[in-house]
Amino acid sequence: MTSLTAPSAPSGPATPTAAAPGSAASPAARLGRHGRRLVVLLGLPTVLVALWWVVSERADNFFFPPLSEILAEFGPTWFEGRITDDVLPSLGRLAAGYSLALLLGVALGVLIGTRPALRAFAEPVLEFFRAIPPPVMAPILMLFLGIDTTMKVAVIVSGAIWPVLLNTVEGVRGIDGLLHDTARVYRLRPVTRLRTVVLRGASPQIVTGARQALSIAIVLMVISEMFAANNGLGFSIVQFQRGFALPEMWTGIILLGLVGLLLSLIFRAVERVVLAWYRGQRQAQRGGNR
């Protein structure tokens, strides 16, 4: 009995000593991954800004002022009243138009995608309107809706709805029929079936359409404010251009890029939460195929 218990004594402490280096190394590995990701994220923008700075300092062109002069005008131009007078109204119109495009696009996409007869009937009309460039709708909608906020929101919706609608239709069409059969066997309620089968199954393509719609909505927000407005980012940029205040005009363009970048980062954070199940499923499938 003594010879059997003696060898088991050293095997007990061996396990914690082997796990200690791994637990100490994992924070360093995570820090290294985050550092590499930060370098990849900021590397190219840093190089481009540095190149713009050097080239513009040596240039002698009235229409392309030095970057140092543009940055010097950024704060006085936008942080002395224009944030509330121009930036916030633009973001409000963008939020309203984009939200309406998402709601209408998903609702109509689910309706058309779940009914083959309706899809066959509506497909030629959808393809026709999708082929029309969204900026063309701005002057047309201005004739019917005037020049107030309603027109600007309608312009955003008229262009941003199509990626959401068409991707939702394709996502609903691509759901495995076995899932629908299983839902019928378990006698799921229509609302539960819509939430757990249809919307969940089509969510990867819905998110893809929403990402495309976001960039279109930003463009249409600016265009709608350039036609007829008395405030907004697009209005300010045009006013600076017409008054030959070119450094201020360039600050507006840079601000638009920063707004687009911020909204893209917010969208990615939401996407990670919404599609966490999908990424886990893909990783499980890849692990099972090895």
Q: Which CATH number covers residue 122?
A: 1.10.3720.10
Rg (CA), the chain: 27
Rounded to whole angstroms, the Cα distance separating 269 from 277 reads: 14
Do the domain assignments include residue 196? yes
Q: What is the pLDDT of residues 210-225, one digit of tens each?
A: 999 999 999 999 999 9
Q: How far is CA 255 from CA 28, 73, 236, 269, in A?
A: 36, 12, 11, 21
Residue 137 lies in a domain: yes
Residue 122 domain flag: yes
Instruction: Answer yes or no: is 173 within a domain.
Output: yes
pTM of the predicted model, to two decimals? 0.81
With a cut of 50, list the residues of the chain below it in pLDDT.
Answer: 1-24
Between CA 262 and CA 265 the distance in angstroms is: 5
How many domains, in total, are found in the chain? 1
What are the distances in angstroms from CA 74 to CA 32, 55, 150, 201?
35, 19, 30, 45
Domain membership flag for residue 253: yes
Confirm whether 86 is domain-assigned.
yes
Q: What CA–CA distance (Å, rounded) separates 156 from 93?
A: 8
Q: Which range marks the domain in which residue 192 is found?
A: 80-289
* Eight-class DSSP state of 135: G
Q: Where are the alpha helices (DSSP H) in 79-188?
A: 82, 88-113, 116-131, 137-145, 149-173, 177-185
From residue 48, how far is each of 44, 45, 63, 67, 84 by CA, in Å? 6, 5, 19, 12, 30
Residue 114 CB neighbours (<10 A): 17
Closest CA to 160 of 205, 258, 94: 94
Asked, for residue 277, whether it belongs to a domain, the answer is yes
In a domain, 115, yes or no: yes
Q: What is the pLDDT of residue 287?
A: 66
Measured between alpha carbons, how far is 174 from 114 in angstroms, rounded to an integer? 10
